[in-house]
Structure 1
């Protein structure tokens, strides 16, 4: 097979590529969090940060080219009952980069640019993607997978960087940013609760998502990991200290569900692999961001409670994340060099 030209890559460029930026970014952030306990991890975390910035720039070129040169193909994907849910990975990648710039540099202006860009694009994607879903008749139970969480995940990701950035803006803008963060967290959390019921219904009553969709079972860990951390970030910006104790308890309870789901997702993935139902695809990046979000939540709970159990779970989740990220990155790079990974999927 000959390597495709940039023209061909852009025309069929899959919207889910930016899950790689999300996964790499959360690996950088969780590695930096663990560097507080093992300082030797600080340099790898910084290298991952800058690598991810370069990765985003590299992937943005064919993504934007597709919209400019092949708008019909891009719009067709936007109306697809499965592929459309992956378009918001671009805006979530911007929000993750905002969190990275805030953690790894002192350039809060750059973090604000990424955050505002991510917020604007993600609200747009959340409305457009779900508008086509609500107005169309193409969605069936076969299309209901945790990938449907992606628009909701982006909404709840907003306060991860958005809340800490409130300290770097004026009072007038601060109020508007706080309001936007509350809207994102509220909308995304309620959407997750509804979609959670739908996906569990499929798990109970319908055939499971298999093949390249197998990794989507891990996406549950993304809202489980992000929602409590975003809630705590916002509570810390409000003038009611008592709310922090309530938020910490809710955070720990949701984390408990995350531990349970981590084991279940592992068992389902191992079963799919044993049955030969786990072919490599870009969807493997679906392992990474959710797992990193859960590791970050565990680290935050360790900081709040001081319990060694939270740190142990965080470290185990991070170690698994490292292995899955390295495997997925290697196979993605090999597929990109050979050109096979750019072949469009039905």
Structure 2
């Protein structure tokens, strides 16, 4: 029988929730936002599905805001611990989840917001996109600088979590491709399109190099420990998003660039988008197959739950969106049918992970920063005492 315990009973003090808060939590906004966007494109009629996914998007905004406040509170009240966690070889990687989670909100303003708020939704999405782009570029520079100068890494201990700070730029690029057609100013739309291609280039080549290292690491040192099992799915993220970015940027390039006298370039971009999207999708399908196989291998010995389980959702979500885009642009029904199947799988995974996350959050077990391992909780200062 389930016994209801005191909230946050895993910690002696409630403020440990803030002291131990890590950016890993933003992966929940990535997965939730991606699930809403994917299910909104489900190709078969389901009564009320658009309204349900719209509410899920709105709930994701609340979740993102709450997590942002918690992380800002950590830097405000426990700055030493927050700074120390930046030296951990894994924790700072999840900073990339912040702009990626925000990107799903931006895309939601286009998918759900326009019918609710009209043209103002595009204005909000445009403002948030610029913030998202700054965060993505900044994190994409800051985290590798820490890797090069302050953190300790080795091939044996690396895993696909290295991808997180870099993939944010291409997620923002894909978001820009969705936003550009909604801008009424032709020059602004052109600039946004080119900026999105630049963001794509700041991410995908680096992600491909990391995947090469990851392949070598897996071949030499085999699978990581079970607590990092889900990281095998993260390889699907940059490939799915890379394909999606090329597809959405190329799809509207002829119209957007034609409006400013560069129609020929737009036609080339459209062709590159479709062919490049197919190539990246195929590469992603290989990694997805390997991820499924390795997950089944892990299940034999048990798969402990942690926030890393959100890695099941966002990579699968962006790959599914790319699958839908290929179905629309090629007219091949197999892509659409496969996208529908992946959508159902994503919905099941999201329900499973969200349920276990809520339970773990209630007990406080998921509020743990490995960067503070062995560090005792500080004596409450006057500022901390006043805050609680």
Normalised by the length of structure 1, the TM-score is 0.94
Q: Does structure 2 retain, via aligned residues, the 8 Å contact 1:19–1:93?
A: yes
Provide, for residues 226-248 of structure 1, a one-character-per-residue CA deviation record: whole Å limited to 9, x for no partner: 11211222223343224323321
Q: Which residue of 2 is the match for residue 102 of structure 1? A: 110
**Alignment length, in residue pairs?**
344
Provide, for residues 119-168 of structure 1, a one-character-per-residue CA deviation record: whole Å limited to 9, x for no partner: 11121111111101112361111332111111221010112221232342
2:287 matches 1:257: no
Match of 1:11 among 19, 22, 32: 19
**Structure 1 unpaired stretches of 5+:** none
Q: Which has the larger Rg? A: 2
Q: Which residue of 2 is the match for residue 216 of structure 1? A: 231
Q: Does structure 2 retain, via aligned residues, the 8 Å contact 1:95–1:115?
A: yes
Task: Please report how far the alpha carbon of residue 175 of structure 1 lies from its aligned counterpart in structure 2 after TM superposition.
Answer: 4.7
CA distance in 2, matches of 1:216, 1:337: 24
Q: Which residue of 2 is the match for residue 57 of structure 1? A: 65
Aligned Cα RMSD in Å? 1.8
Q: Which residue of 2 is the match for residue 2 of structure 1? A: 9
CA distance in 2, matches of 1:20, 1:144: 23
Q: Which residue of 2 is the match for residue 290 of structure 1? A: 315
Q: Which residue of 2 is the match for residue 332 of structure 1? A: 357
Q: Which residue of 2 is the match for residue 37 of structure 1? A: 44
Task: Please report how far the alpha carbon of residue 3 of structure 1 lies from its aligned counterpart in structure 2 after TM superposition.
Answer: 5.5
Q: Which residue of 2 is the match for residue 189 of structure 1? A: 204
Q: Which residue of 1 is the match for residue 348 of structure 2? A: 323
CA distance in 1, matches of 2:194, 2:214: 30
Normalised by the length of structure 2, the TM-score is 0.84
1:169-188 aligned within 5 A: 170-171=185-186, 173-188=188-203
Match of 2:334 among 290, 296, 309: 309
Match of 2:242 among 219, 224, 227: 227
1:18/1:169 CA distance change after superposition, 3 Å: farther
CA distance in 1, matches of 2:185, 2:354: 41
Match of 1:271 among 275, 279, 297: 297
Q: Tell me which moved more, 194-203 or 53-62.
A: 53-62
Q: Does structure 1 retain, via aligned residues, the 8 Å contact 2:243–2:277?
A: yes
CA distance in 2, matches of 1:15, 1:243: 36
Provide, for residues 315-338 of structure 1, a one-character-per-residue CA deviation record: whole Å limited to 9, x for no partner: 221121111111110011011111
Secondary structure at 2:156 match in 1: helix
Q: Does structure 1 retain, via aligned residues, the 8 Å contact 2:244–2:318?
A: no
1:198/1:158 CA distance change after superposition, 3 Å: same
2:147 matches 1:133: yes
1:143/1:83 CA distance change after superposition, 3 Å: farther
Provide, for residues 280-316 of structure 1, a one-character-per-residue CA deviation record: whole Å limited to 9, x for no partner: 0000001100000111111001101121210121122
CA distance in 2, matches of 1:143, 1:126: 21
Task: Please report how far the alpha carbon of residue 253 of structure 1 lies from its aligned counterpart in structure 2 after TM superposition.
Answer: 2.3
**Structure 2 unpaired stretches of 5+:** 1-7, 115-120, 258-262, 374-388
